[in-house]
Structure 1
Amino acid sequence: MKIKLTILSFAIILCFSSCHKEVRSEKGGIDIISNVYFEASRGLERMQSFHISKMSYSNDNLIEIVPDRTFPEMSKQIYFIKDSLCYAIGYERKTTIFSEIVLKQKPLLVWDKKEGAVFSKEWIPNYRNRRKLSDTVLFGKQYKRFEINSPWNYTRFYIYPTDTILPYSLYRHAELDYHGRLERIDSYNKKNDIFVTLQLIPRKNWDDIARELFEFDHFVTRSKNE
């Protein structure tokens, strides 16, 4: 009887572990978009939208395009990111080979990057004082939610339950706690009366510039190995 109970316990643990197994997405893209509402208590008419970052990834290789804020259709900077290291890519990108960039260029730690998507190892401020909220539906997707209220800010966080892990996350520690992907943060600055939304929008395909870079690098690497 004891043996049967042991086997049953092991099966339950194995099942529980498999239910929370993470799956890494091999290919796709991520957009980071922010909307800023000024004098929010008077209405949402005064608003400015920012396309902060356009990222595309192939396994652990990530291409980040930082749009120009004045002309969003233009690229202010392009980065190749791998293993927490960041390399700037110039306008000769059509002939860019990732392995050569890594050898020739001095990298920048992603934590020190000043533009585009923010890479941070810090925890959400006042995270231990968060309060659970009921689930909600936005844009056809159901989200888990929690809030953090302080004398200066009120912030809500929206986590989409999923086992699929992307190579970039806003706050990885919260995703681990809630078994999902943090896709939206709404924050209200009480002193300055400014309401800010930050959205992480996953997509299945690369953007055109990233496709150009990935396909050329893949072609050169494959040719060298043949």
Structure 2
Amino acid sequence: MKNSYTIIVLGFLVLSFISCNSEIKSEKGGIDIITNVYFNASKSLNEVKTFHISKINYSHDTILEIVPNLHFPEANQTVLLIRDSIYYDLGNENIQETIFSDLLHKQKPKSVFEKKIGALFSNDEIPNYRNKKKLSDTILFKKRYKRFEINSPWNYTRFYVYPTDTILPYSLYKTAEKDFSGRIERIDSYNKKTDVFVTLQLFPRKNWDKEIIDLFEFNVFVKNKEHGYK
């Protein structure tokens, strides 16, 4: 009886450990990536430019990335279809009836790791990551963040990690996020030579951008029709 009780307790502890450490993959939502660039930062933070780098929309394994025009914020440069580690360029006009399956056959895929616009994808480790220094937690925008910094003769960088087990289809540095059991949502970097201070922020959201909703729904309709669903 005692041995049976021990087995039950151990089984419960194992299940509890697994449930507490399981990762949840987000099935639908969006991510905005915004950067602020401060010039002559040591003098003041008044000389600043803000750039909306990327508007990521995802549904399961499919990402539609809107790349804003950095010179004309009210316009989009292009829309990219991303799956796994490859992407296709939809352009920025008459995309609402683009059929994803057709695009895969018409256009040669490109590697996301070679992409130079929008959200940058990389498998590289953070420069000087081994020299990181852990900092105390802080609260920013009503959220608690873990922090660490990397200081070099030329740059000082501080990273903010939001503790979460929810996995998004895009991350800034996977290695660091795994080490800190969370998601990097902000990076502050100061270039000591140029006196430029840059903040890069990642804002997750639940909803898609308005211009993407019809495109996602149209392709769901096409896919269901191809499979004979009503």
TM over 0.5, shorter chain: yes
Contact residue 188 and residue 194 of structure 1 kept, 8 A: yes
With structure 1 as the length reference, what TM-score do the two structures score? 0.95
What is the rounded CA distance, in whole Å, between the counterparts of 2:19 and 2:200 in structure 1?
A: 32
* AA matched with 1:92: N
Shift in CA distance, 5/131, structure 1 to aligned 2, threshold 3 Å: farther
For the residue of structure 2 that corresponds to 1:223, the secondary structure is helix
Give matches, 1:185-224, under 5 Å: 185-224=187-226
Between 206-215 and 181-190, report the one with greater CA deviation: 206-215
Alignment RMSD: 1.5
Code of the residue aligned with 1:116 in structure 2: it is G
Matched AA of 1:18: S
Partner SS state of residue 42, structure 2: helix
Aligned equivalent of 1:116: 118
1:136-157 CA deviation, whole Å, 9 max, x = no partner? 0111111111111111111110
- How far is the alpha carbon of 1:114 from its aligned partner? 0.9
Distance 1:154 1:223, change over 3 A: same
Count of residues paired in the alignment: 226
Q: Say if 2:125 is the partner of 1:158.
A: no
1:81 aligns with 2:89: no
Q: CA deviation at 1:14?
A: 3.5
Q: 2:44, 2:185 → 1: CA distance? A: 24
Q: 1:73 deviation in Å?
A: 1.5
Name the counterpart of 1:131.
133
| 3-state DSSP of counterpart to 1:100 | helix
- Superposed, which structure 2 residues align to 1:91-110 within 5 Å? 91-110=93-112
- SS of residue in 2 equivalent to 1:156: strand
Task: In structure 1, list runs of 5 or more residues that go unmatched.
Answer: none
| 8 A contact 1:20–1:179 mirrored in 2 | no
Task: Give the SS at the match of 2:88.
Answer: strand
